[in-house]
């Protein structure tokens, strides 16, 4: 909510001052913040959704909504940056544009202070509750602070140039500034969107996430005569999904179902010591083909080749 409110405040101020000063750099800053405000409203809803358990409608929960909102956020900011860059290039090719430097400097001071304080508050919150949504917000406001500070310094060059009699360069300050800000901002939304899209298509998390989880699993399974181990991990948003296939000897004494649940308990506890928000599935088999990587097509072909000796009620199903 803090991020949404401050985006609206700074964005509205940016559009207002852009009209008064004629500065496209301020217009770009206002559009950035209003775009972020629209996404922030959806983020508030997603933050509450992600705390819900799975349901019949969403059998794997709502964690993927976090990745979805971060992908939308990154793509929107990227689109605004590209449009601003094109506009600045057109302005440079047509002689630049004059702006009211005094009002522009006043807005830049306001934006720099507002963005810096917001980034500071969110960073403190992130340290207490690290989540991908908060991480994206912290990155956005840190970049906002740097951009606003750079804009402030650049606007201060206009009265300095006028004082020194370099009036020919003043029309180019604003379009050059827009181009530099747009180029600087392209990296953040690309990284944000790429990371979120990779989560949406179930790419494995980075090694610094998977390695300690895998080591914890290996330590927990050390007492068992494991013939094969297949661990699959995905992390949409802040939730880590871990699927563990254990291949055990055919003569392994199972005893009771409770004894298998005790293995699950140990594995789940081991993983949670590394990653607090996790969904762990543990599957046991003596046949490695039920654990090994597959496309599903081979298993279907094998099933079709097996003799048709299933009970009638299974065939009906």
- What is the average pLDDT across 132-156? 79
- What is the average pLDDT across 179-183? 78
Q: Which residues pair with 231 in a beta bridge?
A: 244
Instruction: Tell me if 221 sits within 8 A of 200, measured CB to CB.
Output: no
List the CATH code of the domain at 207-316.
3.30.70.1350
| pLDDT confidence band for 317 (50 / 70 / 90) | very low
| pLDDT confidence band for 114 (50 / 70 / 90) | very high
For residue 138, count CB atoms less than 10 angstroms from its CB and return exposed for 0-12, middle for 13-18, buried for 19 or more.
buried
Rounded to whole angstroms, how far apart are CA atoms 90 and 156? 23
List the CATH code of the domain at 2-200.
1.20.1510.10
Position 240 scores a pLDDT of 92
- What is the average pLDDT across 175-183? 78
**pLDDT mean across residues, the chain:** 84
Position 65 scores a pLDDT of 87
Which tokens sit at 295? 């496309």
Residues 6+ apart with CB under 8 A from 39: 69, 72, 73, 76
Position 298 scores a pLDDT of 58
Pick the range with the lowest mean pLDDT from 61-70, 204-213, 274-283, 284-293.
61-70
Position 308 scores a pLDDT of 55
| pLDDT confidence band for 276 (50 / 70 / 90) | confident
Backbone angles phi, psi at 243, to 5 degrees: -110, 125
Position 25 scores a pLDDT of 77
**What are the structural domain ranges in the chain?**
2-200, 207-316
- What is the average pLDDT across 210-217? 94
Q: What percent of the chain lies above the pLDDT cut of 90?
A: 32
Q: What percent of the chain lies above the pLDDT cut of 70?
A: 94
Predicted TM-score (pTM) of this structure: 0.70
Q: Which residues pair with 230 in a beta bridge?
A: 245
Establish whether domains 2-200 and 207-316 are of one fold. Answer: no
Chain centroid to Cα 141, Å, comes to 15
Position 174 scores a pLDDT of 74
| pLDDT confidence band for 314 (50 / 70 / 90) | very low
Position 315 scores a pLDDT of 46
């Amino acid at each position: 909510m803090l991020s949404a409110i401050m985006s609206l405040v700074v964005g509205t101020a940016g559009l207002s001052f852009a009209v008064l000063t004629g500065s496209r750099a301020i217009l770009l800053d206002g559009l950035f913040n209003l775009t972020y405000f629209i996404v922030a409203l959806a983020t508030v809803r997603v933050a509450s959704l992600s705390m819900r358990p799975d349901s019949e409608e969403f059998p794997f929960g709502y964690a993927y909504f976090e990745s979805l909102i971060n992908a939308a956020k990154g793509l929107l900011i990227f689109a605004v940056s590209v449009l601003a860059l094109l506009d600045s290039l057109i302005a440079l090719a047509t002689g630049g544009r004059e702006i009211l430097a005094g009002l522009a400097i006043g807005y830049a001071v306001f934006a720099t202070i507002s963005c810096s304080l917001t980034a500071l508050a969110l960073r403190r919150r992130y340290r207490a509750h690290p989540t991908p949504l908060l991480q994206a917000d912290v990155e956005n406001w840190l970049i906002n602070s740097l951009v606003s500070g750079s804009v402030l310094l650049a606007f201060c060059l206009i009265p300095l140039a006028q004082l020194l009699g370099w009036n020919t360069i003043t029309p180019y300050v604003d379009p050059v500034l827009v181009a530099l800000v747009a180029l600087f901002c392209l990296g953040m939304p690309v990284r944000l969107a790429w990371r979120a899209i990779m989560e949406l298509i179930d790419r494995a998390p980075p090694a610094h996430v998977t390695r300690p989880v895998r080591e914890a699993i290996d330590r927990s399974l050390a007492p068992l005569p494991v013939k094969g181990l297949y661990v699959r991990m995905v992390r949409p948003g802040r939730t880590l999904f871990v699927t563990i296939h254990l291949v055990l000897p055919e003569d392994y004494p199972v005893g009771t179902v409770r004894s298998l649940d005790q293995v699950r308990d140990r594995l789940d506890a081991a993983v949670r010591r590394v990653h607090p928000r996790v969904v762990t599935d543990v599957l046991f088999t003596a046949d490695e083909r039920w654990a090994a990587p597959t496309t599903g097509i081979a298993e279907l072909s094998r099933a079709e080749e097996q003799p048709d000796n299933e009970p009638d009620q299974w065939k009906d199903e």
